Amino acid sequence: AADLVVAIDGPSGSGKSSVARRVAQVLQLRYLDTGAMYRAVTWWLLEQGVELTDTERAAELTARIPLRMGTDPQRPTVHVGDVDVAGPIRESRISAAVSAVATNLGIRRELVARQQAIAAERGVVVEGRDITTVVAPDAPVRVLLTASEETRLSRRANELHGESTESTVEATRDEVLRRDADDSTVARFLDAAEGVDVVDSSHMTLDETVRAVLDLVEKRT
Ligand code: C5P
């Protein structure tokens, strides 16, 4: 249906962005990357020289961020005001700082409200860490996408360094595992909440994983 909400959570390297975009394309739904919203807030706060440890000030400024998420799954965009931040928010300085933003409860309240407003407009595939539990707990389709640590590290190394070798995987390990540990304090995304379907993509191709999620959509709707 045109107003279907599909919620997908998972840790970094689980493949959730690629899977969520493809599912949205197939079902002709919009696509919302909530991680990109936390990253854009991080970029904006650093840009303004705000101390991320000043949680009140950070939350206050976040309430006024002119953040615009483009939800076309073929070409998702992220703008803060007129600035296209799609590239900058993937930099490692942002990945390193984003957990400080994600653990700020005032910021979470603001972003969750914006995510729910976007989801209420029209059908969408929403991906993140707390979508199945907090943002869209009533979505008819809720999926936790997991993958073994080895698989996740290798996928991230590919993403960040263009290849998965022993040295690129090592270079990625710290970033991924530390972010997982930090993130696990804000949302429970390593095990599934009640009623959430688990898809383990460790031994699946992208196509197979997309198929598995589409099968769940069929089963649950
Ligand atoms: O998905 P991605 O790895 O780009 O997310 C970046 C960060 O944003 C995560 O490490 C996490 O700290 C935060 N995040 C969150 N809740 C979400 C999505 C992302 O706290 N729904």
How far apart are the C-alpha atoms of 160 and 165, rounded to whole Å?
12
Nearest to 55 by CA among 99, 107, 110, 96: 107
Q: Is the CB of 86 under 6 A from ligand 1?
A: no
Model confidence pLDDT, tens digit, residues 132-146:
999 999 999 999 999
Classify residue 66 as exposed, middle or buried by CB count within 10 Å of its CB (0-12, 13-18, 19+): exposed
CB 57 within 8 A of CB 50: yes
Q: Is the CB of 128 under 6 A from ligand 1?
A: yes
Q: Is the CB of 42 under 6 A from ligand 1?
A: no
DSSP state of 135: I
How far apart are the C-alpha atoms of 149 and 142, rounded to whole Å?
22
What is the interface pTM, i.e. ipTM, of the complex? Answer: 0.98
Distance from Cα 212 to the centre of ligand 1, integer Å: 23
Model confidence pLDDT, tens digit, residues 116-131:
999 999 999 999 999 9
Whole-prediction pTM value?
Answer: 0.95
Give the CB-side neighbour count of residue 127, counting CA atoms within 13 A. 28
How far apart are the C-alpha atoms of 107 and 51, rounded to whole Å?
14
Distance from Cα 189 to the centre of ligand 1, integer Å: 11
Nearest atom in ligand 1 to the alpha carbon of residue 36 is: 4
Q: Is the CB of 94 under 6 A from ligand 1?
A: no
Q: Is the CB of 12 under 6 A from ligand 1?
A: yes
Name, in order, each residue with C-beta under 8 angstroms of 171's C-beta and a sequence gap of 6 or more: 157, 160, 161
Average model confidence (pLDDT) across the chain: 94
Distance from Cα 218 to the centre of ligand 1, integer Å: 28
- pLDDT above 90 (res 187): no
Nearest atom in ligand 1 to the alpha carbon of residue 115 is: 21
Model confidence pLDDT, tens digit, residues 37-93:
999 999 999 999 999 999 999 999 999 999 999 999 999 999 999 999 999 999 989
Please, which residues bridge with residue 20 across strands? none
- Residue 189 confidence (pLDDT): 67
CB 152 within 8 A of CB 14: yes
Q: Give the β-pairing of 83-84 and 124-128.
A: unpaired
